[in-house]
């Protein structure tokens, strides 16, 4: 068991327990490596089968992040397809089990919640966001694609907001998350211990533990004092995305003349991102329609492995995290991308 995952249980007044799991990698914004994923998976499976465990709370160490994603730098050092596939099998396997988890899972989504971190949060039954929550699926900047369940939850957002966020890597906040289905309750971060205490004092003897946790969160929920920027820009986002092809969307984004700082910032990251990622994201959004989240994870595993082995991923990580020159040399643009190039990521 790695010390980057800390677990403990808190006994309730009625002799149940609350499992508490801390992602303990604050220097890396609680990004997960393979050992952390395995440790989480092992502990969650153990708690699943322990009758006394009423609910599980997952949060990040420190004040800056729930989880900034996966340890993508380590993936660039993988020596072959088996090593790459092993990481995604474990990461996606964990999230698939979380989607199906029979007990309430509470994700405390404070601070940075991005990439695989957003995948973790979205897999939980109860999702808390705060005034300091900062979310994104920023894979276009590293040549991956919006994975870790992103192919599932982005495709289910209102209108074509999910497509916009997947293509651009646009950053949004906790207020936006409430409207997008990525947040169930808006709480003050300082109330974390109070929520735990309320869980300790609650009566868990009844069968509806999910309903009990929802009641507890409702008691602490605060109505946001500012509106959602995504809702304010909803019509414009849909106009930008409602084009006949990816090349037409590309043109619409690059010719945007509006005054939304949110849209403009998202377009900036889009322009700098991998066109291969954009084409994969477009293909998944429009043409991949699995019947279950587990089926989606199987597709994501194939695509993610190919992104690491043959796509823009290693170059994106080099430019952003290793050499830090922020000047990636992407393999293709939309204009010169060969026919059949994207097909190879799905086979």
Q: Is 298 a catalytic residue?
A: no
Contact predicate 107/127, CB 8 Å: yes
∠ CA 46-51-53, rounded to 5°: 70
3-state secondary structure at position 21 = strand
Catalytic choice (71, 147, 173, 176): 147
Dmax of the chain from CA atoms?
A: 65
**H helices present in the chain, as ranges:** 34-48, 72-75, 81-99, 116-122, 150-153, 161-168, 174-180, 192-201, 209-220, 229-232, 234-241, 246-254, 261-272, 275-287, 293-310, 313-317
Catalytic choice (116, 143, 170, 316): 116
Q: Which of 198, 149, 158, 195 is nearest to 178 (CA)?
A: 158
Catalytic choice (139, 176, 233, 300): 139
Q: Is 339 a catalytic residue?
A: no
User: For residue 188, what are its two tokens?
Assistant: 């003050």
Catalytic choice (60, 69, 70, 150): 70
Q: Is 100 a catalytic residue?
A: no
Q: Is 197 a catalytic residue?
A: no
In whole angstroms, give the CA distance from residue 129 to residue 59. Answer: 11
- 């220097």: which residue's tokens? 27
- Supply the residues annotated as catalytic: 70, 116, 139, 147
């Amino acid at each position: 068991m790695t010390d980057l995952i800390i677990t403990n249980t808190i006994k309730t007044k009625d002799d149940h327990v609350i499992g508490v799991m801390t992602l303990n990698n604050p220097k890396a914004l609680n990004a997960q490596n393979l050992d952390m994923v395995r440790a989480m998976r092992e502990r969650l499976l153990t708690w699943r089968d322990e009758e006394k465990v009423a609910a599980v709370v997952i949060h990040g160490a420190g004040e800056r992040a729930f989880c900034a994603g996966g340890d993508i730098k380590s993936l660039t050092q993988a020596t072959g397809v088996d090593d790459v596939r092993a990481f995604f099998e474990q990461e996606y396997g964990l999230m698939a089990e979380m989607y199906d988890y029979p007990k309430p899972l509470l994700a405390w989504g404070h601070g940075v919640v991005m990439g695989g971190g957003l995948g973790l949060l979205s897999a939980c039954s109860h999702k808390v966001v705060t005034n300091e929550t900062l979310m994104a699926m920023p894979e276009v900047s590293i040549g991956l694609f919006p994975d870790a369940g992103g192919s599932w939850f982005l495709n289910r957002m209102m209108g074509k907001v999910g497509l916009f966020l997947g293509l651009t890597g646009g950053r949004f906040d906790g207020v936006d998350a409430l409207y997008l289905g990525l947040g169930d309750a808006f709480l003050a971060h300082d109330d974390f211990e109070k929520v735990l205490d309320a869980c300790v004092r609650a009566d868990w003897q009844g069968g509806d533990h999910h309903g009990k946790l929802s009641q507890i969160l409702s008691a602490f929920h605060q109505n946001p004092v500012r509106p959602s920027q995504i809702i304010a820009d909803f019509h414009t986002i849909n106009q930008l995305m409602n084009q006949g092809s990816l090349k037409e969307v590309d043109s619409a984004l690059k010719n945007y003349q509006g005054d939304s700082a949110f849209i403009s910032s998202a377009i900036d990251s889009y322009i700098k991102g991998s066109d291969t990622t954009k084409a994969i994201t477009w293909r998944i959004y429009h043409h991949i329609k699995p019947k279950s989240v587990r089926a989606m994870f199987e597709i994501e595993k194939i695509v993610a492995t190919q992104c690491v082995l043959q796509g823009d991923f290693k170059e994106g990580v080099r430019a952003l995290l290793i050499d830090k020159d922020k000047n990636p040399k992407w393999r293709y643009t939309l204009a010169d991308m060969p026919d059949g190039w994207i097909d190879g990521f799905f086979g």
